[in-house]
Chain A
Amino acid sequence: MNSRLIVINVVRWFILLSVQVLLLRNLSFYDLATPFTYILFLLLLPFRMPNLLLYIIAFGTGLTLDSFYDTLGVHTAACVTLAFVRILFISVTVSRDNFDEPEPTLGNMGFKWFSLYALLCTFAHHLVLFLLEAFKLTELSYTLVRCLLSGIFTLFTVILIEFIFYNRKMR
């Protein structure tokens, strides 16, 4: 991992988290769907990253979000779950020895791969997030509907942002 990647990721972390905390936190459709676009940061972390470091970064990001949302632990657990799904998905779909690309962006990996990757990670994250937030099974259907709608919203914003900063790798 070179210094350019580190700088890009730090900048991305600040921008995405401030957008989440300052703007998206106040955004909600009929109290059902809220986008959690900050997970894009975790999605775009470089391939060549030790698992432990990935978990620590996910944990720290979740903890930061939690302190702004006053829900200590909820986002943390959700981000850690996302990291786990990310590792599983990448180990299944990308061969470990030769990562051609440094980061799993839309431009590097193609729309099909990236959308599936974002879909799985987003729903794993949202499922844990909303179930922990509700913390009971009696309103399960309502929780799942909120999870589904927020997931679609998040996915939409994530892919939209990726298209805006789309740059196809020149081969």
Chain B
Amino acid sequence: MRNLWIFINRYNAFFLFVIFFTIGIILTVKNNTYQRSVTFNSTNEVVGHAYERLNVFKRYMNLGEVNDSLARENAKLNTRLLAMTTIDSAKNTIVKDTVNHVQYTYLAARVIKNSITLRNNIITINKGSVDGIESGMAVISAGKGVVGLVRDVSAHLATIESLLNKNTKISVSIKSTKALGSLVWGDRNSDYRKAFIKDIPNHFQIKLRDTVVTSGFGNFPPGILVGAISNKAVSTGDNFMTIETRLFNNFSTLQYVYVIKDKLAQEEKELESKLPNEQ
């Protein structure tokens, strides 16, 4: 014990250096938002690249399925293209200027990290601020529905707060009745194939297998598919009911997603910030 004390005392310069330097580093990481965002998440270069390597294997495994879904989407887009090019000019009198006033643009990205088993699941994609991605943008998957919202963005990568996250809330409506509700995942539910719609008023008639789509309030464009109603009896006992929905999207095999850029998002935010705060 005495020897140890003598040893520490002799090299006290070094030990004191270690102590004070550690305090300095802790202060740096805890208090500076930039350093904090770089250190501990998967937009970090090291972690991000490790996931990207790992993902090369996974992509081979699911190649068949991805091909199928791309082919399906191609077919669908071709059909739509056909419908657009053969406009019956006698029938359509209103001309929509869809070239100059495109509100939403899509940006394809590859998923390099995904999880479905956690309480708060985060997806990492291979596009970042260089490609124009900003925090808060909506993310959907090819033809099958909502995925989540962009959370943190680095130069070449971005993290998405997946729908399978207790912080994610998406405004949805039921297609047949137009009833509005908010889509949440958490609350005693850890099945990645289903989610709940909350705050639907009791007077709406709900039918099983009705389609649920996004309402257009918030960051998602209207009419994006979400799922089909699978159980309408999950009531909470007050004026609003909770409905269970089976998600169209299979989060376990997610590989390519579309990030949606809303041209008017900034404008809308500025306009609404002028409203008096009513809380």
Contact = CB atoms under 8 A, between A and B. Distances in A.
Nearest to B12: A51
A77 B21 contact: yes
Q: Is the interface of B mostly helix, strand, loop or mixed?
A: helix
Given A55-B16, A80-B21, A135-B35, A73 B45 contact: no
A106 B30 CA distance: 39
- Range for the number of chain B residues in contact with chain A: 20 to 34
Contacts of B35: 132, 135
Contacts of A52: 12, 16
Given A77-B24, A77-B25, A84 B13 contact: yes
Q: Is the interface of A mostly helix, strand, loop or mixed?
A: helix
Nearest to B16: A55
B20 A59 contact: yes
Nearest to B35: A135
Nearest to B44: A136
A105 interface: no
Contacts of A87: 13
Contacts of B25: 73, 77, 132
Nearest to A86: B13
Contact of A76 (B14, B24, B38, B45): B24
Contacts of A55: 16-17, 20
B7 to A, nearest CB: 15
B129 to A, nearest CB: 15
B27 A76 contact: yes
Interface in A53-82: 55, 58-59, 62, 66, 71-74, 76-78, 80-81
A113 to B, nearest CB: 20
B12 to A, nearest CB: 5
B32 interface: yes
Interface of B: 12-14, 16-17, 20-21, 23-32, 34-35, 38-39, 45
8 contacts: A51-B16, A55-B16, A66-B27, A73-B32, A76-B28, A80-B24, A84-B13, A136-B38
